[in-house]
Structure 1
């Protein structure tokens, strides 16, 4: 016979009834417990679990209905069969309404009882199986919803990350999404810094700012360094119980459960994502690790894309700065202005806030501070003794300069960020540039190389400009000396001829005086020419600087304002915007005053002085020129004299020397320009001074 199974509680105040049911039911395989008091039955029900309860309705103190209520309050699906020897329709309806499985009359037929028990237990097992399936289905639905929510979160995260180009903003977004999706209290992203091979925190949530700024971990050391080096995700449920990292946790971690996942793209590790302590207080699970690993793969792609975008943007910015520097350097007059300009431009692409420019003395074998930027105290007597070979050795150069700067309060606090490199132009060492920043940010090798190139190219360009200016000055002086030497021949020839005539007519007193006067005049001319040669030998005579020609023109007009008012001459100006040009301001003032005063003298009865300024392109000379026009409404110049006005000593004035316009022409030629003139007798004269707009036109 097939054995039955199930745990049954029998409750009846009759001992015989309890023993009979226990014997019969145990005989077919049931595990039977009997109780004769209602109170003890309720205690048993609350303490143990029974598959079925069989109880008599009529009992003292606690009856069968009380036991039914207790069983149903503990388990809504509890099976309770009620027995009674005093059946009534009312009690039967009440029992069924309160959840009794069946209602049996005494005396009970065992076969009927056994069948009722079997059916009840089969129903209970069926209900339990159904409830279990429903519970499992509910759990699976919850898990499915969780997975869908995770996938949606990953999709939204990926969508959000792919639309972010700024690397800093992207890293903040990644940490925020990771902590939100996984449900962590603290999170951080650490990226590997090359070539140092250390991990630094680039973004974090829940960490102190001092920890963020001060953390630098070598690869292979600590949890993050281990994950970055081994390229495998790591989960630690309780770090205090973890044998491998327990010792490290005492020093570095105030957390128990954590996740660390590498940010890996192809075969390259960019860094790691760290999460610690779930908001729920529970340890992280393998599902959390799987989800974070999936998220990290998306994040790594976004970081790599943003990094390359940022690098491209930096390259464009660097090229733009380099173009700006290259196109502007030639307009700056001296190296101090060049150094200021370079410092301001380089600050835009490299994180520096101070610079020291040292000049190199080959003879004394030392560096002397020439200029500095970004410091309150710019007056410094800083000299560093270094040999040339030490300057060309990067390590020795940086050690030597840092050793000297340790004594300087402005630098001693951030010597770790100071970098120095030689300035070499045309193969010649000119000096050293040292830069630094107070944020202790180390300048990369690429950035050092870029700054070194800019500084050396600037020095090279400056030296080349100086060479061109010197060559131009020497060429101009040579041309002028050659012209003056040619002019010397004429008075010498005149003196020689006069002396021969004087020798022949020595006895003629009147003739002697005449010839002596002639010799004296020629000697004066020789003296003037010699003085002009001496003037040309002055090295500052044609020292050129970039100036605004309008300022010189306004200054000249202000000097003659009283003369204009006295002569009742009106002034008409037409001054266009023109570029600054290289001139010797004193020499050009002499040119302007010579021409303007000649114009005023040409209008004794009054008139109009017209002054114009413009720039133009000269196709014949292949260059841009600035033209100064000075016109009068005076007497004009006779056609036969027009070609002689620039000749030395030619004049139509009673008290004129004939040197003014000759000097004008020579000064303008020395500037690489030329003078032209138009005149109509009785209507006026116009002089045009044409000066090159660019220095290389000289």
Structure 2
């Protein structure tokens, strides 16, 4: 916040034109001084006070009936010891001056008003947070629904990365999974990396988890949000224009089984809220990725078993054919007569 004062509510002549007007916090004004001093200020002759700069709203058709400020009482709105605004009243109806009694009365009212304003702001903030949480729960439910529809690892990775980039509005992103019993990770999804960059068309490519910020995240199972990539000793350039990067681990059974990596060429694109969302997204994606990896392993085992059975059948086929041929020759007596016992055996 700038700290400037902004008219939120105004009553009386020209009130509508006042709402939204701004007074700089650095300006020499009655409002700013009341905030600084934390006590009411009475001015009964505005023309003789240098802190009064004339009517805030000028009227082109001013005449003797036009509203003019003469006497002003300004008191700060203070909540929990901190000023949050200013309450100002102008010109008594009977044209009399403001007194200390008026100031005390207005200060008492202002104290109650400050509490009410803070409560309203708190309620508004909590309401906004609740709405944001409900929206995120709906979003996560939609993500879960999409992830539960497939056991294909690359499809699961693509769904997860799409949601990550869409929410964080990152320029580029990647999702990689760790190969079991190895120090390598395999790229499962990439988005928007330019030609010539390390991750360009990187799906299926393997990268060491002993290097890079991604390797540090996998080894420590701890997310990293960096806005000083060039000074990070583990940084490996994957996006030439990157100035910020978020890497979060995908954890299953207390081990990192992959990472989500987002990068941007603008420092303001990625923030701590994005980091928190990506961590929750990784938690939701973890079971789907683990199941997809297991399904992939089972499929490879079935393919290997089928290939082995096919090989054995092929290798046994030739000897069996030869044995059947020799048996027919023996039965026909081509190599000599056979007795009854030999015939029964054949």
TM-score by length of 1: 0.35
Q: Secondary structure at the match of 2:258?
A: strand
**In the alignment, is the contact (CA less than 8 A) between 1:257 and 1:284 conserved in 2?**
no
**Do the aligned partners of 1:81 and 1:103 also contact (CA within 8 Å) in 2?**
no
Q: Could you say if the C-alpha distance between residues 141 and 279 of structure 1 is closer, same or farther in structure 2, counting changes exceeding 3 Å? A: farther
Structure 1 position 481, deviation (Å): 6.0
Contact between 1:191 and 1:271, CA under 8 Å: does it hold in 2? yes
Q: Distance in 2 between matches of 1:214 and 1:170?
A: 14
Q: CA deviation at 1:314?
A: 5.0
Q: CA-to-partner distance for each residue in 1:614-653, whole Å, 9 max, x for gaps? A: xxxxxxxxxxxxxxxxxxxxxxxxxxxxxxxxxxxxxxxx
Residue deviations 1:479-512 (CA, integer Å, cap 9, x gap):
14648xxxxxxxxxxxxxxxxxxxxxxxxxxxxx
Q: Which residue of 2 aligns with 1:148?
A: 134
Structure 1 unmatched runs, 5+:
1-42, 72-79, 85-97, 323-449, 484-697
1:45 matches 2:29: yes
Alpha-carbon deviation of 1:274?
1.4
Q: Distance in 1 between matches of 2:91 and 2:139?
A: 49
Q: Aligned partners of 1:307 and 1:244: how far apart in 2?
A: 32
Give a deviation string over 1:322-357, Cα, whole Å, max 9, x none.
Answer: 3xxxxxxxxxxxxxxxxxxxxxxxxxxxxxxxxxxx
Residues 567-589 of structure 1 show CA distances to partners (whole Å, capped at 9, x for unaligned) of xxxxxxxxxxxxxxxxxxxxxxx
Partner of 2:214: 224
Quick check: 1:192 aligned with 2:182? no
Match in the other structure for 2:264: 277
User: How far apart in 2 are the matches of 1:83 and 1:58?
Assistant: 9
| Alpha-carbon distance in structure 2 between the residues aligned to 1:47 and 1:127 | 17
Q: CA deviation at 1:199?
A: 1.2
Gaps of 5+ in 2: 1-26, 36-40, 59-67, 73-87, 338-345
Pair 1:259-2:246 in alignment: yes
Please list, as runs of the form range in 1=range in 2, the aligned pairs for 1:577-656 lying within 5 A after superposition.
Answer: none
Instruction: Give the equivalent residue in structure 1 for 2:70.
Output: 82
Matched, 1:479 2:321: no
Cα 1:44/1:268, change in 2 over 3 Å: closer
CA RMSD of aligned residues (A): 4.1
Offset at residue 253 of structure 1 (A): 5.8
What is the DSSP-based 3-state SS (H/G/I as helix, E as strand, rest coil) of the residue aligned with 2:193?
Answer: coil
Find 2:152's aligned residue among 131, 155, 166: 166
Q: How does 1:2-151 map to 2 (within 5 A)?
A: 44-45=28-29, 48-50=32-34, 52=41, 54-56=43-45, 67-69=54-56, 82-83=70-71, 100=90, 102=92, 105=95, 113-151=99-137
The aligned residue for residue 234 of structure 1 is 224
Q: Say how many residue pairs are matched.
A: 279
Secondary structure class of the residue paired with 2:261? strand
Q: Distance in 2 between matches of 1:140 and 1:275?
A: 30
Q: Is the 8 A contact 2:190 2:201 kept in 1?
A: no
- 1:59-458 aligned within 5 A: 67-69=54-56, 82-83=70-71, 100=90, 102=92, 105=95, 113-208=99-194, 210=200, 212-213=202-203, 216-240=206-230, 243-245=232-234, 248-250=235-237, 254-277=241-264, 281-285=268-272, 287-315=273-301, 322=306, 450=307, 454-455=310-311, 457-458=313-314
Cα deviation for residue 225 of structure 1 reads 1.2
Q: Per the alignment, do residues 184 and 146 of structure 1 end up closer, same or farther by CA in structure 2, a change over 3 Å counting? A: farther
Q: Which has the higher contact order (CA 8 A, sep 6+)?
A: 2
